[in-house]
Amino acid sequence: MTIESEAGHGNSPAAWTAVIIMLVAFTIGTVAFWFELPWLVIASAVLLVLGLITGKVLAVLGYGVGGAKANSKAHN
């Protein structure tokens, strides 16, 4: 192990927000597919894309890895 921390690995508010939104969308889509609700499957696909867009927008606004507003803490 080294003392240096690796930059990135998606540990940022933008990444966490995007992943949580997309996991919720995937879960809803899976359940909707199981119960044969095509409108809800489509809505979950839209939510999945919105999660991706949200992550990108937050990264541009400075909440991504190395962003001005991202609060990075060292792991001990």
pLDDT of residue 61: 96
Tens-digit pLDDT profile for the chain (76 aa)? 455 566 656 789 999 999 999 999 999 999 999 999 999 999 999 999 999 999 999 999 999 988 888 775 655 5
pLDDT of residue 35: 98
Furthest-apart CA atoms within the chain: distance in Å: 52
Write the single-letter amino acid at 57: V
pTM (predicted TM-score): 0.81
Q: Give the integer Cα–Cα distance in Å for 15 and 52.
A: 9
